[in-house]
Amino acid sequence: MAAASPVQAAAATVSPVPACPASPDTITAEPSASPLPLADPAEPSAQDVIAWYDAHARDLPWRRPGTTPWEVLVSEVMSQQTPVARVVPAWQEWMRRWPGPAELSQAPTAEVLRVWGRLGYPRRALRLIECARSVVEQHDGVLPDDLDALLALPGVGEYTAGAVLAFAHGRRALVLDTNVRRVLARAVGGQALPAPSLNRAERERALHLLPDDDATAAHWSVSVMELGALVCTAREPDCDACPWRSDCAWLAAGRPADVHAGRRRSQAWHGTDRQARGLVMARLREAADGQPVDAGELVACAARAGLRSSGGAPDPDQPVRALSTLLVDGLITTDDDGASYRLP
């Protein structure tokens, strides 16, 4: 038996790289001893933010009439940790090729990963394939509209399930993404940014503000999300353009600094394993007809990730580590004991 390659040996001892950091579906809930109080008894008006949305909302393809619940789910998964401008063309190409769970469930994995392209965190693409297969096998190819059934699907957490119920079915459901959390932290909580992790009290406050009837609640959810994306942004909020400026607790307090700044972790890119893995995946997507690429060439690609995120000399083990974690994650495979690799 041939000796294991350095990549295979490393793969046997490493843990998979996380699919993506702190997406809305993977936020760890922090316990809270008591509910977060409203910073001001005057709650922001639901009608004000809905009217703003109706006048200023972006024309995103998955918001148009006739969009299916499955198409909404795919858009939400793609949009996690990824700019919308990058998601739109990928989503449109994805829907052209695989308009529903049945088509995606039979798609070659390598082709799916190529279309996923530069969206980042490609394990999301693998989870979508698994989700599609579960929908076909367990729900006759129709995405369920029940919260528990949605949560039982691979890759679907509380945020994604809530988004499908609200945006595809017009239901009252909690939809707490980064944008919504930031808007509510400022407008109601008087804080520059929410805590790094979602806590129970924050959820309870959001539920308290969510309108009671289904249609208004769904409209409110997408409106607040859009407000966070376009106006109440993380770094340069345009308070003069905000429909809630007269009731915003953060603005009334003089826009105080982020009290949680010391607890936040920055998401570096240059010189990290994420960049090295991305360089490998980019080279494999370029390979014609799924042809394998020599391991040495892939190691050289990964080595271009440059300096480590902490600064200093390049990490000599990073290229092999990048390949080994991709192998563990099921994003690449080998047919010749590590001499070359290809998309699965």
Section 237-262 average pLDDT: 94
- Asked if 241 and 251 touch (Cβ cutoff 8 Å), the reply is no
Considering only residues 272 and 38, tell me which one the structure prediction assigns the higher pLDDT: 272
**What gap in Å lies between CA 23 and CA 176, rounded to an integer?**
11
Angle between the N-to-C axes of helices 69-79 and 84-97, in degrees from 0 to 180, rounded to the nearest 10: 140
Residue 268 pLDDT more than 80? no
The string of pLDDT tens digits covering residues 162-203 is: 999 999 999 999 999 999 999 999 999 999 999 999 999 899
Q: Name 195's Cβ contacts closer than 8 Å, sequence gap at least 6.
A: 30, 202, 260, 263
Considering only residues 38 and 305, tell me which one the structure prediction assigns the higher pLDDT: 305
Instruction: Give the per-residue pLDDT at 28.
Output: 36
Section 264-279 average pLDDT: 83
Residue 1 pLDDT more than 50? no
Tokens of 321: 């580590």
Residue 227 pLDDT more than 90? yes
Span of 38-42, 123-127, 235-239 with lowest mean pLDDT: 38-42
Residue 307 pLDDT more than 90? no
Span of 8-12, 182-186, 329-333 with lowest mean pLDDT: 8-12
Coil, helix or strand at residue 121: coil
Span of 20-24, 210-214, 235-239 with lowest mean pLDDT: 20-24
Using the CB atoms, write b or e for 19-51: b if 16+ within 10 Å.
Answer: bbebbbbebeeeeeeeebeebbeeebebebbbe
Establish how many alpha carbons lie within 13 A of residue 312's alpha carbon, considering only the half-sphere containing its beta carbon: 5
Instruction: Give the per-residue pLDDT at 165.
Output: 98
Catalytic residue flag (residue 93): no
pTM comes to 0.85
User: Which domains, from first to last, does the chain contain?
Assistant: 59-169 (1.10.340.30), 174-260 (1.10.1670.10), 269-341 (1.10.10)
The string of pLDDT tens digits covering residues 94-103 is: 999 999 999 9
The residue annotated as part of the active site, out of 76, 158, 202, 226, is 76
**DSSP sequence for 271-302:** TSHHHHHHHHHHHHHHSGGG--EEHHHHHHHH
Question: Sorting pLDDT into bands at 50, 70 and 90, what band is 38?
Answer: very low
Sign of CA dihedral 77, 80, 81, 83: positive
Instruction: Give the per-residue pLDDT at 271.
Output: 85
Section 281-301 average pLDDT: 93
Section 110-125 average pLDDT: 95
Coil, helix or strand at residue 344: coil
Instruction: Give the per-residue pLDDT at 222.
Output: 98
Which percentage of the chain shows pLDDT scores above 70? 84
Span of 23-27, 56-60, 112-116, 122-126 with lowest mean pLDDT: 23-27
Kindly report the average pLDDT of the chain as a whole number: 88
State the virtual CA torsion across 233, 182, 191, 235 in degrees, nearest 10. Answer: -20
